[in-house]
Structures are given as structure tokens and as C-alpha cells.
């Protein structure tokens, strides 16, 4: 798992966030397939269809993803972080988090799944850009550039943001799993989390600026296909039916 997270971190520093985040869903079908063979868990026909859709949607995402990086240096990152549009988005996210954590979650969290999902997803929209920013700042620190001192300060700030957001996310994910079904939570969380991360990345890194209409529609279709696949795998995994049983029922009807 540690090696996987390191690979995930390196991916954010190497390719656009708009591609890495949706592709994180591939862990779900791969995990389901491995569990069916190694742990002898049943994977019904809808689960198999979900795996196929997730892989197909991922291929579409790769084909239509942005082909160039919009932010490649620490100096460009600092400029993006001070952009008024991103600062405004950050203020809105922080205000929503304060309302959700201190007012809405204590009263409605245990009965409304979207409360905990919203908290974790809003924090995730800060976590992923912070991870990408740490990678960019680390490059200047390692190469000992003239701006390495400023890069070190920026890296420490982003590390603090990343650490705090991950701790709070773990807390509310655990609370959500205590109150709601993990399959339903996982499916909804993936869709909301990915949507907000893509929104934050679009505002901060402007990765969509080089994407044409056809590629935009292709990525939207790919993300929708992956999301449907995840829902089929997660939500319907307890359904006990297969093609053999469907054929038997058709024969009895005839």
C-alpha cells in the first residue's frame, strides 16, 4: 500500500491531475477481481460489467486527457496560488467546511450520507492540489535552485495543509462507515470527490485550458462511464444472481 501511495504521489507530479484522479478508480475493479480469485468472494454479472465499464472509461479518459502540463515550476505554482479566483474558491471551501463540521454534521451527519461525503470531498479537493504542489516545490529543493528557500517554505505549508486534511478526512470517513453501508458510501464518495478535485484543479492549474470541445466531451463520457462502473461494482455486489440463474428462470417461464 505504501508503494502504491508513493506511485500515486509521483503520478500527480508527472501528469495532469485531471487524468490521475479519475484513474484512481481502477483500484476498485482490480481489487474486486483479485478478491474473487484470492479470497473467493463472489463477483456477479453486474460486478463484472462494472469492471469492464471502469476499464473502458479509463481508456477514454487517457485518450482525451490534456497532453501538456500547465504548471511545471514552483514560481508558476506560487503565481497560481495567489490568483484571486483560486483564493475566492479557497474561501468558499473553508466557509462550507466550517458550516458542515461545526453546525450541520453534529445534527444531520448520522442520518444524511451527503454530509460526511461533502466534508471529505471538500478536503480532498485541497489534498490533491497540495500533493501536486509539494512535488513541484520538491523539485526546486532537490536541485538546489536559487529559489530553493522559498520552495522549502511553500513545501512545508502544503505539507501542513495535506496532513491536516488527511487526518480530518480519516475521522469523517470512519464516522460515515459507522452509520452507512460502505458500498454506497464508496460509490457516492468517488463521484463527489473526483468532481470537486477536478473543479479545484481546473481553477488552480488551468489544465482544461488546452482541452478542446471533443476532448472535453470525451473526458466527460469517460468519467461518467467509470462512475457507472464503480456504482455497479460497489452498490450491487450483494445481489446474488448470475446468467445461469437468469437462463433457468427464462426456461421455466417458457
Nearest to residue 219, comparing CAs of 30, 66, 16? Answer: 66
SS3 state at 194: helix
Give the C-alpha separation, 131 to 129, whole Å: 5
Task: Please give the chain's pLDDT, 254 residues, in tens.
Answer: 667 767 777 777 777 777 777 777 777 777 778 877 887 777 778 888 888 888 888 888 878 876 655 666 777 777 878 888 888 999 999 999 999 999 999 988 898 989 999 999 999 888 877 887 787 777 777 776 666 677 778 888 888 888 888 899 889 989 988 888 777 787 788 888 888 887 887 788 776 666 778 888 888 898 888 888 888 887 777 776 555 555 555 555 55
Put simply, whether the predicted model's pTM sits higher than 0.85 gets the answer no
Amino acid at each position: 500500500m505504501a508503494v502504491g501511495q508513493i506511485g500515486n504521489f509521483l503520478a500527480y507530479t508527472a501528469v495532469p491531475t485531471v487524468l490521475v484522479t479519475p484513474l484512481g478508480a481502477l483500484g476498485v475493479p482490480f481489487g474486486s477481481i483479485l478478491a474473487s480469485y484470492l479470497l473467493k468472494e463472489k463477483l456477479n454479472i453486474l460486478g463484472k460489467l462494472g469492471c469492464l465499464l471502469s476499464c473502458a472509461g479509463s481508456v477514454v479518459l487517457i485518450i482525451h486527457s490534456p497532453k501538456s502540463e500547465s504548471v511545471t515550476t514552483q514560481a508558476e505554482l506560487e503565481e497560481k496560488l495567489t490568483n484571486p479566483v483560486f483564493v475566492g474558491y479557497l474561501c468558499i471551501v473553508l466557509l462550507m467546511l466550517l458550516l458542515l463540521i461545526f453546525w450541520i454534521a453534529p445534527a444531520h451527519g448520522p442520518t444524511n450520507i451527503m454530509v460526511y461525503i461533502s466534508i471529505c470531498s471538500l478536503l480532498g479537493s485541497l489534498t490533491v492540489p497540495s500533493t501536486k504542489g509539494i512535488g513541484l516545490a520538491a523539485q526546486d529543493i532537490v536541485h538546489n535552485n536559487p529559489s530553493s528557500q522559498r520552495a522549502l517554505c511553500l513545501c512545508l505549508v502544503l505539507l501542513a495543509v495535506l496532513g491536516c486534511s488527511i487526518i480530518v478526512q480519516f475521522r469523517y470517513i470512519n464516522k460515515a462507515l459507522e452509520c452507512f453501508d460502505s458500498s454506497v458510501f464508496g460509490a457516492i464518495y468517488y463521484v463527489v470527490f473526483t468532481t470537486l478535485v477536478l473543479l479545484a484543479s481546473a481553477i488552480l492549474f488551468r489544465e482544461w485550458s488546452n482541452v478542446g470541445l471533443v476532448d472535453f466531451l470525451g473526458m466527460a463520457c469517460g468519467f461518467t462511464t467509470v462512475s457507472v462502473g464503480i456504482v455497479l461494482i460497489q452498490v450491487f455486489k450483494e445481489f446474488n444472481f448470475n446468467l445461469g440463474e437468469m437462463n433457468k428462470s427464462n426456461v421455466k417461464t417458457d
